[in-house]
């Protein structure tokens, strides 16, 4: 019984390892309280690997990746302010512009996740790497209108960081944060979107919130 309990506890612990973290931060200005958030994602140069349904659908999943991630990001960031996914020909004039470049989209292998199980060393795990840049939308628009966006880019940037993660050693069991034997990309997109929200929000876990007065 003890051995069984230990096995289950270890499996749960490793399942919890699935997720996405901020791997590197280039710029952090401390900006808060955007009036609105606009979202645009790219995956033109992404390395697409692993099991994406089947070989015939890989190109389709690649082309849809920016829309899928933008949708997940909108659901998270609208907790901070009204959020909208931009059309290709739209440029925001207020709030924050959140741009994401999906660099690695590796869905891993459900087969190897199943073979190695939750105690395996991560064989078949999914991987995702995303570069995120948050700019002041009004300053960005002015630089674009001036036909010199490169000159004003550094001053426009509020946050810039890299996200990395995936299913890691989760294995084939699956969890809220990991796909198990399913398709990994939607889990990775959701985990990455949640991490962006947590990175940019004040009191991200709402640990300072009280429902009753506690001051005496």
**29 SS3 class:** coil
* pLDDT at 11 (0 to 100): 44
pLDDT at 8 over 50: no
pLDDT per position as a tens digit, 154-208: 559 999 999 999 988 777 777 788 888 889 999 999 999 999 999 999 876 666 5
Residue 173 domain flag: yes
pLDDT digits (tens, 9 = 90+) for 26-48: 999 999 999 999 999 999 999 99
Is 137 within a domain? yes
Is residue 10 one of the residues assigned to a domain? no
Percent of the chain with pLDDT over 70: 76
Q: Whole-prediction pTM value?
A: 0.81
pLDDT of amino acid 42 = 97
Computed over every residue of the chain, the mean pLDDT equals: 83
Which three-class secondary structure state does DSSP give residue 147? coil
Whether residue 116 has pLDDT greater than 60: yes
Number of domains in the chain: 1
Query: If pLDDT is split at 50, 70 and 90, which confidence band does 62 have?
Result: very high
Q: Does any domain span residue 127? A: yes
Share of residues in the chain with pLDDT > 90 (%):
55
Whether 131 maps to a domain, the answer reads yes
Residue 123 forms part of a structural domain: yes
Q: Two tokens at 97?
A: 């512009």
The pLDDT of residue 216? 54
Looking at the DSSP assignment, which residues form a beta bridge with residue 85? 39
CA distances in angstroms from 112 to 54, 116, 122, listed in the order given = 16, 6, 9
* CATH number where 173 lies: 3.40.50
- The residue segments making up the domain with residue 26 are 18-200
């Amino acid at each position: 019984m003890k051995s069984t309990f230990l096995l289950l506890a270890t499996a749960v612990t490793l399942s919890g390892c699935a997720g996405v973290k901020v791997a590197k931060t280039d710029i952090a200005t401390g900006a808060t309280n955007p009036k609105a958030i606009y979202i645009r994602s790219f995956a033109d140069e992404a390395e697409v690997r692993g099991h994406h349904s089947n070989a015939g659908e890989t190109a389709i999943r690649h082309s849809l990746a920016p829309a899928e991630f933008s949708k997940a990001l909108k659901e998270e960031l609208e907790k901070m302010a009204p959020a909208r996914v931009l059309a290709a020909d739209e440029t925001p004039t207020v709030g924050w512009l959140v741009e994401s470049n999906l660099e690695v989209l590796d869905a891993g292998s459900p087969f190897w996740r199943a073979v190695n199980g939750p105690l395996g060393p991560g064989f078949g795990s999914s991987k995702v790497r995303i570069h995120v840049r948050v700019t002041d939308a009004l300053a960005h628009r002015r630089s674009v209108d001036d036909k010199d966006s490169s000159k004003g880019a550094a001053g426009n940037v509020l946050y810039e960081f890299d996200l990395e993660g995936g299913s890691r050693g989760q294995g084939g069991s699956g969890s809220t944060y990991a796909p198990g034997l399913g398709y990994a990309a939607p889990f990775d997109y959701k985990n990455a979107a949640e991490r962006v929200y947590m990175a940019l929000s004040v009191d991200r876990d709402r640990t300072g919130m009280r429902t009753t007065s506690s001051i005496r």
